[in-house]
Amino acid sequence: MEKAATTFFSLALVLMLMHCFVALAGGAANYTSSDESALLAFKTHITYDPNHILATNWSTNTSFCNWVGVSCRHRGQNRVTSLNLSNMGLQGTIPPQIGNLSFLTYFNISFNHFNGHLPAELGQLRRLKVFH
């Protein structure tokens, strides 16, 4: 009797642990994928790119850490820390998804032709130190 009860509780414990593991694995956010989406949203909001730099270089067949103007932190999940796209003749708007780049510290898009409003979501970037 005692042995049966022990076996039952051991089984229940194993099942509970498995359930927790599946929940964690399935629910953990992929911030690398979220950063990639934010950069791709930025790319689709570029209306003019005279040298086709983003059009040819910002390709999902390689990690965004290799994209021109993008610098990353590589510890843990790859996260964008710096965006330097100054002086590329770009036109377009800044989409709200930029607010998802939560590790961004440096954002330089000076000497381009961006227009429209700065999205309020920029205010979510609590690590941002430089915005030019």
Residues near ligand NAG (CB under 6 A) = 30, 32-34, 36-37, 56-57, 59, 61-62, 66, 68, 84, 86-87, 96-97, 99-100, 108, 110-111, 121, 130, 132
3/61 with CB nearer ligand NAG: 61
Residue closer to ligand NAG, measured from CB, 7 or 44: 44
Q: Which residue, 96, 124, 94, is CA-closest to 108?
A: 94
Q: Shortest approach of ligand NAG to residue 50 CB, angstroms?
A: 15
At its nearest, how many Å lie between ligand NAG and the CB of residue 55?
A: 8
Residue 9 token pair: 């509780």
Degrees (nearest 5) of the Cα angle 128, 52, 123?
A: 20
Query: HSE (CB half, 13 Å, CA atoms) of 62?
Result: 9
Of 68 and 118, CB closest to ligand NAG = 68
Work out the burial of residue 98: count CB atoms within 10 Å of its CB; fewer than 13 is exposed, 13-18 middle, 19 or more buried: buried
